[in-house]
Amino acid sequence: MKYKLIICALLLTAMAFGQQTYVGRYDVYSGFMYLSSPAIGLGEIGFHTQVGFRPTHWYSMGFDFCEGNGTTALTPNMLNASLQRQLAPQMAELQQLIQAGLLPANYKLAVPLGSRTRTFTMGPQLAFRHFKAFTIFVRPDLGAIQEVATAHPDDLITKTLVNNLAPGGTLSDWTYFYGFGGGVDLNLTQHFSVRVQADFVHDNLFANLLPGRNSVRFSIGPGMQWGRNMAGK
């Protein structure tokens, strides 16, 4: 019995570490996405889609899109240094009102926000296919990002602040982002896999209000490949 277990373990190891015999020319992926921007306390949930074309088994070109929605509360310390200086007199006045008992002692200025973010990327991806059971990949990240932020002020003070910073209560911005990403495809069959991946990027959305920020995107879902076999090419 002991030897049978050892033989089974060796067979499974050989299957995992064997070369991949099929690499499709095309691949597509769609799955769950979570985008985290810790500097502003924002977490967004949505979907992530990728399509790719492989000139060779180790290199591909593709398009990447994701969209997510989330909420946060914007506080003065999250704003850029210039805006914090501009708001300093108003913050001093708020502190005086708290000391005079005209505002609750625990009052904190915070503007609730709803956010929708979209990213668009095109570029290369490099794959390491030495193992049959899984594929490791890495990529540079350079693309465009759009964010629409809608304020939901809940008192007179935050309403006044929103009217000064964003008349109408909604702001939208486009900019570029850069970073790097990668992950692994867990190969279930020749054509189907489960993809787990992460991207680390930097952007400067709403530069007149916020400093540049770093974001992390996590994604997981099913992938499929098909077409001409590029293994060995």
Confirm whether 99 is domain-assigned. Answer: no
Give the mean pLDDT of 36-49. Answer: 97
67-120 residue pLDDT tens: 999 999 999 999 999 989 988 988 898 899 889 888 888 988 999 999 999 999
Assigned domain for 96 exists = no
Q: Domain count of the chain?
A: 1
Q: Which DSSP letter does residue 190 get?
A: S
- Residue 16 pLDDT > 60, yes or no? no
Q: Decide if 45 is inside a domain.
A: yes
- Number of neighbours of residue 24 by Cβ within 10 angstroms: 19
16, part of any domain: no
Structural domain range at position 162: 26-79+109-229
In a domain, 198, yes or no: yes
Question: Is the residue at 128 inside a domain?
Answer: yes
Helices (H) and strands (E) counted in the chain, each on its own, are: 3, 8
pLDDT tens for 205-227 read 999 999 999 999 999 999 999 99
Instruction: Say if 3 falls within a structural domain.
Output: no
pTM: 0.87
> What is the CATH classification number for the domain harbouring 155?
2.40.160.20
